[in-house]
Amino acid sequence: MKELSLHILDIVQNSVKAGASEIEIDINEDILKNLLEIDITDNGCGMSEEFLKTVKDPFSTTRTTRKVGMGISLFEAAAVQCGGYLEIESEQGNGTSLKVFFEYDNIDRAPLGNMAETMITVIMGAPDINYVYKHRKAGKEFVFVADDIKNALGGVPIDSPEILNWVKEYISEGLENAGINM
Amino acid sequence: MKSLAELQQLRDKISKQVDLRKDRENGIRIVVGMATCGIAAGARPVMNAFLNEVSKRGLSDVTVTQTGCIGMCRLEPIVEVFMPGEEKVTYVHMNEEKVARIVAEHIINKQPVAEYTVGAVQE
Ligand SMILES: Nc1ncnc2c1ncn2[C@@H]1O[C@H](COP(=O)(O)OP(=O)(O)OP(=O)(O)O)[C@@H](O)[C@H]1O
Ligand SMILES: [Mg+2]
């Protein structure tokens, strides 16, 4: 995939399928350590120890529409091609946490891309979930909490097109103000 | 600068305009495939383009939603359009340019764009 934000979108779909009610996306751009870290944590159904052992293999999937599950293996490949790696922890009944590390300045590292579009896309796919998105860079931080938006909206659905477009701009602006340019 | 106060103004405007829930229940549904196969093929910009068109034109009876993999990965991005009382129309190999035409001709003028449909590809 061309952007890391597309992998994030895809991995969040796994958390949605796992029945999570809260999904946190943490991005840390640590330029001094030459490190980019992306963590995606959910409180969904988790995986058994046995399944977890083979989950990075494209042939482990619980999907029924095709025999391969590509999401995690593609994200891992994107990290490995630039000197990074991917870790998964999961506990059945409690949730899953996936951490991916990249060499920040590696020329083979895909750009982060458009996180605002990724966020409104996941909100649209499953609007009831509380998405928390934290993005740090050079001592500055941007934090987005979907439930704060829903509270401000009263009864108006967060997935109305006009609201989603507003949220997209809100996130882009917030990132820009924190000095995070995509 | 966008603030939650501004969001509340937008909320008040929207809730006055329309009976949102009723519109959404009886309306048109645009469903974009958003599994790995769809995302890799470009489903995210397609979905965002639909959202922009629907919002820009104020089509309050149209909802844009997502589905997973429907088993035709080669044809992604795939978009299904459900109109009340009509058969489902499936568009394949979608991109942003096709979106504007589908909204104008199919969503608004009720004439599906035959050349973009799965039928046109499989013939
Ligand atoms: N957050 C999660 N919680 C619980 N199970 C998960 C989670 N993420 C992945 N899994 C399990 O691991 C499998 C493999 O995930 P992966 O994303 O690689 O492929 P997939 O989702 O099956 O298919 P694809 O991503 O290609 O659409 C899934 O089918 C699911 O059973
Ligand atoms: Mg997946």
Integer Cα distance of A34 and B95 in angstroms: 36
pLDDT of B123 above 70: no
Q: What is the CATH number of domain B21-120?
A: 3.40.30.10
Domain A4-177 -> CATH class: alpha beta
The domain limits of chain A are: 4-177
Q: What is d(CA B91, CA B69) in angstroms, rounded to the nearest whole number?
A: 14
ipTM: 0.89
pLDDT in tens, A10-37: 999 999 999 999 999 999 999 999 999 9
Share of residues in chain A with pLDDT > 70 (%): 97
Residue A164 to residue A156: CA distance in whole angstroms: 11
Question: Could you write out the DSSP letters of every residue in B46-110?
Answer: HHHHHHHHHHHTT-TTEEEEEE---S-GGG-S-EEEE-TTS--EEE-S--HHHHHHHIIIIIIT-
pLDDT in tens, A96-121: 999 999 999 999 999 999 999 999 99
Q: Which pLDDT does position A131 carry in this prediction?
A: 98
Residue B71 has what pLDDT? 85
Q: What 3-state class would DSSP assign to A131?
A: strand
Burial of B27 (0-12, 13-18, 19+ CB in 10 A): middle
pLDDT category, A93, cuts 50, 70, 90?
A: very high
What is the pLDDT, as a whole number, of residue A61?
A: 75
Say what the pLDDT of residue A66 is: 65
3-state secondary structure labels for all residues of B12-24: HHHHHHCCHHHHH
Question: Residue B121 has what pLDDT?
Answer: 83
At B87, the pLDDT band (50, 70, 90 cuts) reads very high
Residues 6+ apart with CB under 8 A from A166: B2, B6, B7, B10
Pocket test for ligand 1, best of A56, A61, A94 (most atoms within 8 A of CB): A61
In terms of pLDDT, which residue wins out, B71 or A86?
A: A86
Nearest CA in chain A to B16: A156
Give the mutation target among B34, B36, B70, B76 for probing the ligand 1 site: most ligand atoms within 8 A of CB: B36
pLDDT-derived band of residue B41, with 50, 70 and 90 as boundaries? very high
Q: Which ligand is nearest to the CA of A73?
A: 1
Q: How close is the nearest chain A Cα to the Cα of B58, in Å?
A: 8
Per-residue pLDDT band for B111 (boundaries 50, 70, 90) equals: very high
Which of A60, A118, A124, A151 would you mutate first to test chain B, the one with the most B CBs within 10 A?
A124
**How does the average pLDDT of chain A come out, rounded?**
93
Q: What is the pLDDT of residue B19?
A: 63
Q: Identify which has the larger pLDDT, B3 or A95.
A: A95
- Going from the C-alpha of A36 to that of each of A135, B34, B63, the distances in angstroms are 11, 26, 36
List the A140-145 sheet strands across, edge first. A85-91, A95-103, A35-42, A22-30, A130-137, A140-145
% of chain A exceeding 90 in pLDDT: 82
Nearest residue on chain A to B9, alpha-carbon basis: A153
- State the pTM of this model: 0.93
Q: Is A15 exposed, middle or buried (0-12, 13-18, 19+ CB in 10 A)?
A: buried
B69: closest CA of chain A, how far (Å): 7
Chain B interface test: which of A5, A72, A73, A162 (most B C-beta within 10 Å): A162
Give per-residue pLDDT as tens, B50-60: 999 998 998 88
> Which residues contact ligand 1 via a Cβ below 6 A?
A 10, 14-15, 18, 42, 44-47, 55, 60-63, 69-73, 96; B 35-36, 69
Nearest CA in chain B to A169: B2
* B69/A1 Cβ within 8 A: no
Q: How confident is the model at residue B18 (pLDDT cuts 50, 70, 90)?
A: low
**Structural tokens at position B77:** 């991005």
Q: Identify the band that residue B23 occupies on the pLDDT scale cut at 50, 70 and 90.
A: low
**Residue B115 burial by CB count (10 A; 0-12/13-18/19+): exposed, middle or buried?**
exposed
